[in-house]
Structure 1
Amino acid sequence: MRSSLKFTNKLNMLSEMECESKFQILEYENLDGATDVETAFGLNIIRQSGIKLKQIRIMLEDSSVKLEPGSLSYMKGNIEVKNKSGGLIGFGKKIISSKLTGETAFKPTYSGTGEIFLEPSFGHFALIELEDDEIIVSDNMFYACEEDIDVNAAMQKNISSTFLGNEGLYQTRIEGNGIVALKVPVPESEIFKCILINDTLKVDGNFAILRTGNIEFSVEKSSKSIIGTAINGEGLVNVYRGTGEVWLIPTKNVYKELKMSGASEINKLQFEQDR
C-alpha cells in the first residue's frame, strides 16, 4: 500500500477530481508560525479577513502530469521529471505559442507513482475535466494538467474580437482529455458557469475568463452599428454564441474597487502621519 503524507496543520479539501491522476485543492485552516510582532499582526488581519492559504495536491498512480514551471513545492514517491520538447518542430511550435500567449514554452512532465504538492498561494484555484474538448482561457490561468492535455495558442477568429475585445490577437487554448488545474481571480463559488445551448450571451465588460472551444467570441455594439462605437468607445459588449460553457466572474470589479479604495485610505493615513 502506498503511504501518504501526513500533516500536523489541519487542511480542508475544497474540491477533488480524479481521472488518470487525482487532483485536490487543499486549504490551510490556520497559519500559526509567527515569531515576531509584524508577522503576527499580518496573520491576525488575514485571519480576521477570512483569507486562507491554499495548495494543490496531485496523486499519481503510474500516471503523468504537466506543471507550470516553478509551481512545484515538493513531491514524494517514485516520480521522474522530464522536459519534452517534441523534436525540432515541436520546439518551434512551443516557442511561438509562448511568445503569442505569454505562457511558458516548456512544461515539465512528472511521471510515476507518488504525491506532488504545488506552491501554496492565497489566490484561488479551480479544477476542470476535459473530454476530447478544448477551452480558451485568460492569460496565466494555466497551472497544471494531465499528460494528454495540450496547451497552445488560439487566434481570435474575427476583427472585432481582435481589436476591441481587450484579449489580444491570441489567447491560451487548452485541449485534450484529462484534468486541468487553473488559477482563477475569484473563489470558484463566485464563478458563474453559464451553459449555452445554441444561444447568445452578451457581457458588458471583460469578466469572462473561460469558454469552451465551440463558443464563438466577438465584440459588438449593444445596438446595431459598430463603426461609431469603435471611435467613441461606448456601447460595446462581448458576445458569446453557440453551444458550450462560459465562465463569468461578475465580482471581479468589486474587488478591484475595494483594492483601489483601500490603497487610497492607506495613502491618506500615511500622509497624515508624515505631517
Structure 2
Amino acid sequence: MTATRRPPKELPLTFQIHNFKDNDDITVIASRGMFSVLEYAKDLSVNAQSAQQAYFEAQMNVRRRQVLIELGGGTATVQAGAMQWMAGQVALTSGVKGAGDLIGKMFRGAVIGESAVKPQYAGTGVVVLEPTTKHVLLVDLSQWGGGIVVEDGMFLASEGGIE
C-alpha cells in the first residue's frame, strides 16, 4: 500500500501585523524576493545596563537592523538561533532528509566548522530574525556565478533550496 502526499493548499493570510513595517521608526532599506532588511532609527529597547552602549552607538550612527522573511508558500533556511518571532501558518522543520543526510551534514559541519542542521521555515506567514548592528547584504546568486561560499557566522538566511 502506498500513500501519496497532497500538496499544501495556499492559505490566505489570517493575521495582520500593526506598528511593525508601518512604524515611523522603521525603514525598509533593502528587499529581494521574500527577504527585507528593516532598519530602526533609534533603539527603543534600552535598559539601565545597555544605556551607555546605546548612547555611543547612536553617536556613531550605528543602527539596529532586522531581517523580515515573508513566506508566501515558500521555504526559507535560517541560521540556527537567529529566529526572533514568527506569525502565520509557518511550519518548522530541521531540513534533514534522513539518517544518511544527517550524518553527511554532521561530517561536513565538523570538517568546515559550521552548524550541522539549519532550521527551515515553510508556509504562509512571516519570520523575523534577531536584531543586529551588523550590515546585512541581500545577494542574488545568479550574479555570483550561481553560488558563493559564506562563513557560518556570516550566514543569516536563504531560500529553502539553497545549500
TM over 0.5: yes
1:146 and 2:159 correspond: yes
- In structure 2, relative to structure 1, the CA distance for the partners of 1:136 and 1:33 (3 Å cut) is closer
> Which structure shows the higher strand fraction?
1
Contact 2:115 2:152 (8 Å CA) reproduced = no
SS class of match (1:127): coil
Amino acid at match of 1:26: L
1:45 and 2:56 correspond: yes
SS class of match (2:27): strand
Deviation for aligned residue 1:139: 4.4
Contact 1:102 1:139 (8 Å CA) reproduced = yes
Amino acid at match of 2:104: K
* Greater RCO, CA 8 A, separation 6+: 2
Q: Rg bigger for which structure? A: 1
Structure 1 distance, partners of 2:81, 2:24, is 24
Q: 1:11 aligns with which of 26, 41, 45?
A: 26
Q: Which moved more, 1:135-144 or 1:120-129?
A: 135-144
Amino acid at match of 1:13: V
- In structure 2, relative to structure 1, the CA distance for the partners of 1:40 and 1:136 (3 Å cut) is closer
Residues paired across the two proteins, number: 146
Structure 2 distance, partners of 1:104, 1:143, is 12
> Which structure shows the higher helix fraction?
1
- For 1:212-235, what per-residue CA distance to the aligned partner results, in whole angstroms no more than 9, with x for missing partners? xxxxxxxxxxxxxxxxxxxxxxxx
Identity %: 26
1:107 and 2:107 correspond: no
- In structure 2, relative to structure 1, the CA distance for the partners of 1:138 and 1:33 (3 Å cut) is closer
Deviation for aligned residue 1:83: 1.2
Deviation for aligned residue 1:84: 2.8
Structure 1 distance, partners of 2:71, 2:32, is 13
Q: Which runs of 4+ in 1 moved over 6 A?
A: none
- Listed as ranges, the gaps of 5+ residues in structure 2 are 1-11
- In structure 2, relative to structure 1, the CA distance for the partners of 1:80 and 1:5 (3 Å cut) is farther
TM-score when scaled to structure 1? 0.49
Q: 2:87 aligns with which of 65, 71, 76?
A: 76
Deviation for aligned residue 1:70: 0.4
Deviation for aligned residue 1:146: 0.8
- Listed as ranges, the gaps of 5+ residues in structure 1 are 151-275
TM-score when scaled to structure 2? 0.80
Match of 1:248 in 2: none
RMSD: 2.0
Q: 1:98 aligns with which of 70, 95, 109?
A: 109
SS class of match (1:98): helix
